Structure 1
Amino acid sequence: MSESDIRLPRWLLGVAALVCIAAGLALTLRPAASLDALVVLLGTALAGVGVAEIAGATRIRQRWLSVATGVIFLVGAAAVVAWPGATLSGLAPLTALTLIVGGIVKVLSGIRNGHRTSIAAGAASVTSIAAGAASVTSIAAGAASVIFGAVALSWPDATLLALAVLTGPVAVLFGFATGIRALRPTAHRPRRVAAVASVLALVAALGSLALSVRLNSERFTGPDAFYAAPADVPDTSGVLLRSEPWTADGIPDDTRAWRILYTTTRDEGVPAVASGVVVLPETSSPEPLPVLAWAHGTTGVAPKCAPSLSQEPYGTADAILGAATANGWAVVATDYVGLGTEGPHPYLIGQGQGRSVLDSVRAAHQLVPALELVPALDERTVVWGHSQGGNAALWTGILGPTYAPDVRLSGVAALSPATDLPGLVGYLAEIAGGAVFASYVADAYSRTYPDVDFAEVVAPEARTLAREDAGRCLGEGAIAVSVGTALAVPDILADGQPDERFLHRLAENTPDGPIDVPVLIGQGAADPLILESVQTGFVAKLCEQPRQIDYRTYPGADHNSVIAAESPLVPELIEWTVGRFAGEAVDDECGPIP
């Protein structure tokens, strides 16, 4: 049917143009809403095709085939509307498949047309030359489509974001084009415009492919055989299973280090295996080394995110850990269960994290005599932790007397600790990149607690993004994609807030239980993630009961700079820890220091 056979009134085209422009502008300003809009657009398109097929059944011989095809499309449209979450999950691979198949068809078509053109080239007509240019254009456009499809398969969350971001601008451009068509007849576009567009698309596709290759090359590799649990794992927790010498950037030159594998238990008491690192200072003193147990901050929730797998394992914390070994203390740094070893990782789940810390100290005490090292480790142990590790450090103090009474705790220092978990998770949407941390929490809690359902916690339009986030570590290049999607879709939670069961589990893991040893809580006053006001409120609530809590805030310090080498916290932390190892008495007062 030719174009002259179908003519729509110009006023109708004008209305359609205005609708497209208005909707496009709205979607451009709200890319998260564009994800929902994609489902609506897809459902509308399927319904339109279905209606068209059924309506066209009177014009063809095989009416039943056309009607059946139309019904299938209508059923598909209904399914899209009924299950939008499943539609979004499949939208990225569907887009990738469409790009790849469509691109291959376009390339083959261009090659075929080029072959025909070469046969007719003897005529050297303008038509044959134009046809040859068209075949090159088709091949370039098809190649670009195939490359974009391959990249889309590698980065489904980025594909969804691109679709969401581009839906609005494309609708606006389509609206303007339709409006121009309503005002005056559409002119044929010169072939050179199509050729230039195809070449630019191919260049953009090659650039996307290069970026994808680079980001993939920076992905962390998975755990090696060292982290695999042996065939027979003892039921007793804190048993050293294996060890080997270990080196990494940031480990002081005058130290020796080993990575260790040991037994522990999960939140529900199920036996598990965890990994970690033991760093011993070189010393000529025969005196036993006091033990500094380190609980690290967030690195991710996938097994590949274990600090002991990284060549830069402790980042900003290098300064304080270096100060620890410089003072003649042995550093025992757990990876936590599920990082390095088999998951799930109990991210911000107190029991699992605290047990990993306590059992790492037990295992370290077995390492030294097993390797015939001197000096031995002292029974005195102080726990430090930052961010996620601050939560873990507080839970270590809570669990110590009952879970590991053989580990002699002398003090707990929690630095920028994640404490008010319900408030923190509810606030993450307000923080740049906070959706990445929300994805970690949703993944860990849904894999640990049967009553927390990932599909109920995370909004349908954000599930693909959250799943991809949970598979990435903060230190790898691919996290840039997660940060980008988090900026565009900052709130991944269904209804914008944790549901009641999720909130209950978060409250369970708030570290507000009694701790029998002195506690130091250090907080950056400029921390955008763990707010000073929230931390102060948490400490004030703890101090309603008799506690030995020394609460210190540091003006101008943010979440990470509070533990950097130049931070005033570092010398104060060292001085406080020296006092704990020396058994010095502390004031019974609870709260901020004068």
Structure 2
Amino acid sequence: MLLLLLACTKSTPVDDTAPAFTPTLPVAACGMAPYDLLPLDQVGLPLDWDALDNFALTSGGVDALLGLVGVEGLTPVPYGASVYRFRYTTQDRGALQESTGLIALPTGGAAAEPWPVVLMLHGFAGTFDACAPSGDDLIGPAQPALLASQGFVVIAPDYIGLNGFGEGSTAPHAPLIGEQVAIGSLDAWRAGRALLEGEMAEALEGPLRDDLLIWGASQGGHAAVFTELAAPHYAPEADILAVVASTTAHDLTAVVQDAVTRYTDASGLSALALARMWSWYAPDVGLDTLLVNEEPYYFADTLAALLDSDPEECAFDDLVVEVDAVEEIYAPGFLSAAQAADWDAAAPWGCFIQENSLSMTSIPRASQVPVLLIYGEDDTLIVPPLQEPDHAAMCDDGWVSETLQCAGAPHPEATLWSLPEQFAWMRDRLAGVPWDPECAFAEPACCAGTPEDEGCGDR
């Protein structure tokens, strides 16, 4: 296994005489006012960094964490982990921004020559600065630390609009908007790599591989596939080797149609995601065209006020109410159009949803990067059969993917229970193991990390 991590790649000499790359990423979708992206010499620049001294784990400490989340099958891990936080420059809708993130390094084991690099994209944490993983004392740094303990150098952005330390964000965080998360994540990779090859070089024994793995789960899975899709148009220097995207809503139209047809886990979360899209796209309509705005909850006014605030804690107490029907959340006009999947009639919301669905986005496919997509059979948020048609469309559009569906797994557990398969798959890609998937949608099967008491049986 160690030999797989030691596989190296040849670096290509830089042609300093070549003209600077101008981003070709399509922007200003869904009727937004036109804007141009900033030159790339202004973004992806590290501004500051420091160590999280209270988050330096031995390999035994990581083993204990894995035991707490029920994936003892990954223990004993080969490395401990040290975690750092950093600030960097990026852009949002053509305006310069500062964002934050985490870097996690393997410690205490044999040095890899060279180290593989993972861009880790986290799941939904919230929509305010107070929700940023780099500002959290435990869960935020624990996630990249777990990846680092497997022998990966991890760069983990908080996302634009989630600043974990220093000055607060000047742009809204918009979950599930591909343009925003792809730009912020690729600039985080640029800045993180610059730090690791510069000021932070002494913290890591050995060089980095030239290529890049992208890993994400839930909201981060959506971020992972959109970051890979956008890379040729925004960061062509990123040599992306492979992508792992777990419990991913690559088809938002299917998620939203289900969320407005029956009351599910996705009903409230879809409302929040669409409201944040409203903040970002800034259409000439109010939230009352999406949400009910009458007694007793006045969802449109309440959510608009909440999204315009800057709370000190990551909480949505004002939205914790007792509802059990979609008619209590969504405005009648949007409800009827979305239930019928008439996205033109659901304007502008239909455009927001389609633009950020993988097979419908305006961002053209320009690469052939291997992708592993993971689903949970019992996931009530990202329902696998509802994503299957979009996966077929992805295959027709040139995506090269392998799928895994964990039998009996709800939303979070699908990622946890499949970690052994994920790490093995990434190491195979690092080692250059031949891979020729059928791009078919997998039937449920027992994932390697499934607890014995879950009773996978012979599946």
Say whether the fold is shared (TM-score over 0.5): yes
Secondary structure, counterpart of 2:378 in structure 1: coil
How far 1:250 sits from its partner (Å)? 9.9
How far 1:492 sits from its partner (Å)? 2.5
2:196 maps to 1:349: no
* Structure 1 residues 322 and 265, CA gap change in structure 2 (3 angstroms): same
2:102 maps to 1:277: yes
* Structure 1 residues 485 and 571, CA gap change in structure 2 (3 angstroms): same
1:369-384 to structure 2, matched below 5 A, reads 369-373=198-202, 374=204, 375-384=206-215
Secondary structure, counterpart of 1:542 in structure 2: helix
Q: Which amino acid aligns with 1:363?
A: A
| Partners of 2:310 and 2:268 in 1: CA distance | 10
Given that 1:300 and 1:470 are in contact with CA atoms closer than 8 Å, whether structure 2 keeps it comes out as no
Q: 1:385 aligns with which of 202, 209, 216?
A: 216
| Partners of 2:402 and 2:315 in 1: CA distance | 39
Q: 2:428 aligns with which of 579, 585, 590?
A: 579
Number of positions where the alignment pairs a residue of Structure 1 with one of Structure 2:
355
Secondary structure, counterpart of 1:510 in structure 2: coil
C-alpha deviations, 1:433-485, integer Å up to 9, x for none? 54542343233211211326324222222224434664799996844653334
2:391 maps to 1:505: no
Q: Which amino acid aligns with 1:463?
A: A
2:294 maps to 1:447: no
* Structure 1 residues 467 and 427, CA gap change in structure 2 (3 angstroms): farther
Q: Which structure has greater helix proportion? A: 1
How far 1:488 sits from its partner (Å)? 7.5
2:160 maps to 1:337: yes
How far 1:486 sits from its partner (Å)? 5.0
Q: 2:405 aligns with which of 553, 566, 569?
A: 553
How far 1:556 sits from its partner (Å)? 0.5
| Partners of 1:355 and 1:370 in 2: CA distance | 24
Q: Which structure has greater strand proportion? A: 2
Given that 1:302 and 1:471 are in contact with CA atoms closer than 8 Å, whether structure 2 keeps it comes out as no
* Structure 1 residues 491 and 343, CA gap change in structure 2 (3 angstroms): farther
| Partners of 1:535 and 1:483 in 2: CA distance | 28
Given that 1:244 and 1:259 are in contact with CA atoms closer than 8 Å, whether structure 2 keeps it comes out as yes
* Structure 1 residues 539 and 466, CA gap change in structure 2 (3 angstroms): same
Given that 2:134 and 2:140 are in contact with CA atoms closer than 8 Å, whether structure 1 keeps it comes out as no
Q: Which amino acid aligns with 1:243?
A: W
* Structure 1 residues 535 and 473, CA gap change in structure 2 (3 angstroms): farther
* Structure 1 residues 270 and 328, CA gap change in structure 2 (3 angstroms): same
C-alpha deviations, 1:380-404, integer Å up to 9, x for none? 2111111111111000110112211
Q: Which amino acid aligns with 2:147?
A: A
Tell me which residue corresponds to 2:138: 312
C-alpha deviations, 1:232-282, integer Å up to 9, x for none? x9962211111111256796652221111111122x333322111000011
2:329 maps to 1:492: yes
Tell me which residue corresponds to 1:44: none
Tell me which residue corresponds to 1:360: 188
| Partners of 1:250 and 1:490 in 2: CA distance | 49
| Partners of 2:127 and 2:115 in 1: CA distance | 32
Stretch moving more, 472-481 or 405-414: 472-481
Q: Which amino acid aligns with 1:364?
A: G
* Structure 1 residues 465 and 578, CA gap change in structure 2 (3 angstroms): same
How far 1:352 sits from its partner (Å)? 0.7
How far 1:487 sits from its partner (Å)? 4.8
Q: Which runs of 5+ in 2 are unaligned?
A: 1-38, 62-79, 164-168, 339-345, 444-459
Tell me which residue corresponds to 1:563: 415
2:309 maps to 1:457: no
Tell me which residue corresponds to 1:93: none
Q: TM-score, normalised by structure 1?
A: 0.55
Given that 1:521 and 1:550 are in contact with CA atoms closer than 8 Å, whether structure 2 keeps it comes out as yes
Tell me which residue corresponds to 2:129: 303
Q: Percent identity?
A: 26
* Structure 1 residues 438 and 384, CA gap change in structure 2 (3 angstroms): same
Q: 1:483 aligns with which of 282, 299, 320?
A: 320
Q: 2:371 aligns with which of 519, 522, 530?
A: 519
Q: Which runs of 5+ in 1 are unaligned?
A: 1-232
How far 1:405 sits from its partner (Å)? 1.4
| Partners of 1:480 and 1:510 in 2: CA distance | 29
1:79-94 to structure 2, matched below 5 A, reads none
Tell me which residue corresponds to 1:291: 117
Tell me which residue corresponds to 1:6: none
| Partners of 1:563 and 1:456 in 2: CA distance | 35
1:393-472 to structure 2, matched below 5 A, reads 393-429=224-260, 430-432=262-264, 434-451=266-283, 453=285, 454-461=287-294, 462-467=299-304, 470=307
Q: Which amino acid aligns with 1:326?
A: S
Given that 2:46 and 2:194 are in contact with CA atoms closer than 8 Å, whether structure 1 keeps it comes out as yes
How far 1:545 sits from its partner (Å)? 3.6
| Partners of 1:570 and 1:244 in 2: CA distance | 29
| Partners of 1:465 and 1:303 in 2: CA distance | 19
| Partners of 1:487 and 1:329 in 2: CA distance | 44
| Partners of 2:265 and 2:55 in 1: CA distance | 27
Given that 1:416 and 1:522 are in contact with CA atoms closer than 8 Å, whether structure 2 keeps it comes out as yes
1:1-80 to structure 2, matched below 5 A, reads none
* Structure 1 residues 589 and 472, CA gap change in structure 2 (3 angstroms): farther
Given that 2:128 and 2:314 are in contact with CA atoms closer than 8 Å, whether structure 1 keeps it comes out as no
| Partners of 1:412 and 1:475 in 2: CA distance | 34
Q: Which has the higher contact order (CA 8 A, sep 6+)?
A: 2
Given that 1:439 and 1:470 are in contact with CA atoms closer than 8 Å, whether structure 2 keeps it comes out as no
Given that 2:302 and 2:318 are in contact with CA atoms closer than 8 Å, whether structure 1 keeps it comes out as no
Q: Which amino acid aligns with 2:207?
A: A
1:220-231 to structure 2, matched below 5 A, reads none
* Structure 1 residues 401 and 234, CA gap change in structure 2 (3 angstroms): closer
Q: 2:86 aligns with which of 248, 260, 269?
A: 260
Q: Which amino acid aligns with 1:307?
A: P
Given that 1:525 and 1:557 are in contact with CA atoms closer than 8 Å, whether structure 2 keeps it comes out as yes
Q: Which amino acid aligns with 1:390?
A: G
* Structure 1 residues 291 and 313, CA gap change in structure 2 (3 angstroms): same
Q: Which amino acid aligns with 1:386?
A: A
| Partners of 1:398 and 1:245 in 2: CA distance | 32
Secondary structure, counterpart of 1:332 in structure 2: strand
* Structure 1 residues 384 and 372, CA gap change in structure 2 (3 angstroms): closer
| Partners of 1:533 and 1:273 in 2: CA distance | 39
How far 1:428 sits from its partner (Å)? 2.7
| Partners of 2:323 and 2:303 in 1: CA distance | 9
Given that 1:469 and 1:482 are in contact with CA atoms closer than 8 Å, whether structure 2 keeps it comes out as no
C-alpha deviations, 1:322-362, integer Å up to 9, x for none? 55323211111111000113321131100111122211111
